Structures are given as structure tokens and as C-alpha cells.
Amino acid sequence: MPDKSAYPIQLIQPDGRRVFDREYAALVADIGPEQLRDLYEDLVVTRRIDIEATALQRQGQLGLWAPMLGQEAAQIGSARALHPDDYAFCSYREHAVAYCRGVHPTELTRLWRGVAHSCWDPHAVNMTNPNIIVGSQGLHATGYAYAAHLEGAEIATIAYFGDGATSQGDLAEALGFAASWSAAVVFFCQNNHWAISSPVRIQSATPIARRAYGYGIPGLQVDGNDVLAVLAVTRQAIARARSGGGPSFIEAITYRIGPHTTADDPTRYRSAAETEEWKRRDPIDRLRKLLERESLWDEAFERRVAAHADEVAHQVRSATIGMPDPAPMALFEHVYATPHPLITQERSEYAQYLAGDPGEAAVHQEGVHS
């Protein structure tokens, strides 16, 4: 008989039936009818935000967007397991995590429109802004968790990354440090099967979660399209971290239905049949089927959720199109944490140039043509 531990943890089957799992079902025993409905609403609203942002990019209103279509359950389930004082370190696709952490939807597109260097205030929601450098957030999460421990704070951090990031040296270093320091960090890998055009099979010849074993860190695989299972395993890992048990590694098996970013064409490297197969495992459809099975679904609820999603999407669109361009002098803000003489000089020269000073304009033009 195959070892059951080799299978990803699952609490809801694709057809909506529950899976009896004594250990993990107990971790979400408090999720009753209203909580299930709330999770469904989160899934629908965040997908609607993602679709609207993708449309905005296609219409020239955003420079770029990294769609999360198909990965909503992995993000919602894990984010809803965090405590308010826990800190999330993201990559560039965790729009649903940001929504759960309290980021207002109208802030999600600021960076992608090119009007700011960030989207939201990280201190207000205990979550970092989109991180483009692949894998570096693992080190940031580990260092933050260790520093918090030294200060006596009983919190956890979580680092979100994709399967491609597991081939980065930064992540290997983070796992090593986290194990050595027993840092309160949860490494959360959204294995969406594609690192741009590179399939996961060339990232690792073994399940990614098993890489954690070599560092002495427990690792497990979970069905990333099952919001309840993801919530359960993340709750377990967060509790372990907050109680001093050290780091954990979660590999959420999911799939990127759309492109890597809106600059990518996935039809060049994967088949339509593969994508269609994963669409049949859609996380939203799965939870809806569970609600239907348990008589928690009706048309009034469906209309309310759809109306909420449409209203949030309208807010995102209106806010994005109405975002003002940054003031030119804002270019010099936040370059250094403390005053710097070179920045002070350059700010003064640029201000004179903008004011139309002939001498400064001549210097500028000479620099342009040299």
C-alpha cells in the first residue's frame, strides 16, 4: 500500500466532498457555515480584483501585473491563519494575501502603475510590499523572526515564494539560518508548476517540501486549491513557530492558470490540455460545491457576493485611473534613510533645472549629449 503521508493534505475534494482527516480537520473545526461563506467571498472578491487589474494592464493603465488566477485558495487559506502581529514577507503575486492583511484594494496597483515605489504602508498591515528579487524575502523573514525573538516578541513570520525561487541561493541560506537559529518562520511555497517557462520538474527531482528535511525543518505538501486544508496546515505551522518550535516548510500544490506576468505568453511553452485539467480543480468551484452539498448556498448569497466583488473591482479601476503622477522632486525621497550630501546637491540642481535656470539647463543638456 502507498504511504498516505506521501500525498498532499486535503480536506475538500474537487467535487466538494469533505475528506476525513482526524489531525487536520480538527485544526479547522471552528470553521462553521458563516466562516465557510466568508472564505468563499474572499476567494471571489480577490479573483475579481485580479481580473480587473489584468484588464487594466491590457488597456494600458498598468505597466505590468502578475496574475494569481488559480492560486486564490493557497493565499486566502494561509493569510487567514496569521495573527495580526505576525509579519508576512511576499513576492510579487500575493494580492489576496495583501487583501486579507487589510490592504485596501485601491492601493494594490500603485507600484504597477508606476506612480510610486510601493503600494501600501507595510507597518500598517504587517506585510511587505511586492518584492521583485526572487527568493530574497526568505532571508528577510528569517532575520525579522530572529530579531523579534531577541526582543521577546512571540510572533511568527511567513515567507511566500514560488517553486522557481527554491532554486535560488537566498532561499537556501534562509533555510540554513532558520534551522540554526530555530527562527519562528514559515516558508510557504506556492508550487504553481511554472517558473515563467520552466516546469517544476526541472527545479527539483524530488518534492520541493522534502528539501526542508536536509535542514532539519519539517516539510509537508498540501492541496493548494483546498482553502480549508491550507488554513489547517498554516495554522499548525504558525502555532509551532509562535510557541518556539522553530521553522516549518509548506508546499502548496496549485497551478498558475494565467501568464507569469502580463508580459508573458504561456501558450508558447505549455499545452491548453494541461491548463484545462487544472481548471477542473478550480478552488472557487470546489468551495462552492461544498457549500451546495451542505445547504449553505442560495441565489441571494450568490448575488450579494457578486455585487461586492463588482463594487471592489469598480473601486480598483477608478482609483487606478485617477492616481496622480508623482511630483518630480519626489525622485529624491527615500533614497537614503538619513540626509546625504550628494542627494542634497542633486536635489538642488534638479530643482533649478525644473525652474528653468539657463545655467543648469545648459549643464543638463551637455550631460545628455556627452
Separation between Cα atoms, residue 71 and residue 334, nearest integer Å = 33
The conformation of residue 132, written as its DSSP 8-state character, comes to -
Is 242 designated active site?
no
Query: pLDDT tens per residue, the chain (370 residues)?
Result: 455 556 799 999 999 999 999 999 999 999 999 999 999 999 999 999 999 999 999 999 999 999 999 999 999 999 999 999 999 999 999 999 999 999 999 999 999 999 998 999 999 999 999 999 999 999 999 999 999 999 999 999 999 999 999 999 999 999 999 999 999 999 999 999 999 999 999 988 899 999 999 999 999 999 999 999 999 999 999 999 999 999 999 999 999 999 999 999 999 999 999 999 999 999 999 999 999 999 999 999 999 999 999 999 999 999 999 999 999 998 898 889 899 999 999 999 999 999 986 555 455 445 444 4
R_g (Cα) of the chain, nearest Å: 23
Secondary structure (DSSP) of 208-231? GGGGGGGGT--EEEEETT-HHHHH
Separation between Cα atoms, residue 84 and residue 337, nearest integer Å = 27
Is 215 designated active site?
no
Dihedral angle of Cα 335, 341, 347, 352, to the nearest 10 degrees: -170
- Closest by alpha carbon to 224, among 132, 100, 96, 312? 96
Helix (H), strand (E) at residue 144: helix 136-150
pTM as predicted: 0.92
Catalytic residue among 58, 269, 304, 314: 269
- Closest by alpha carbon to 134, among 90, 94, 80, 75? 90
Note the pLDDT of residue 1. Answer: 46
Grid cell in block for residue 35: 466562516
Catalytic residue among 260, 281, 286, 317: 260
14-46 CB burial, b ≥16 within 10 A, e <16: bebeeeeeeebbebbeebeeeebbebbbbbbbb
Is 87 designated active site?
no
Q: Is the dihedral of CA 90, 96, 101, 105 positive or negative?
A: positive
CA distances from 240 to 161, 243, 332 (A): 20, 5, 43
Secondary structure (DSSP) of 157-191? EEEEEEGGGGGSHHHHHHHHHHHHHT--EEEEEEE
Evaluate whether 103 touches 314 at the Cβ level (below 8 Å). Answer: no
Strand partners of residue 252: 190, 222
Catalytic residue among 256, 286, 288, 317: 256
Q: How much of the chain is in helix, strand and coil states, percent to nearest 5? A: 55, 10, 40
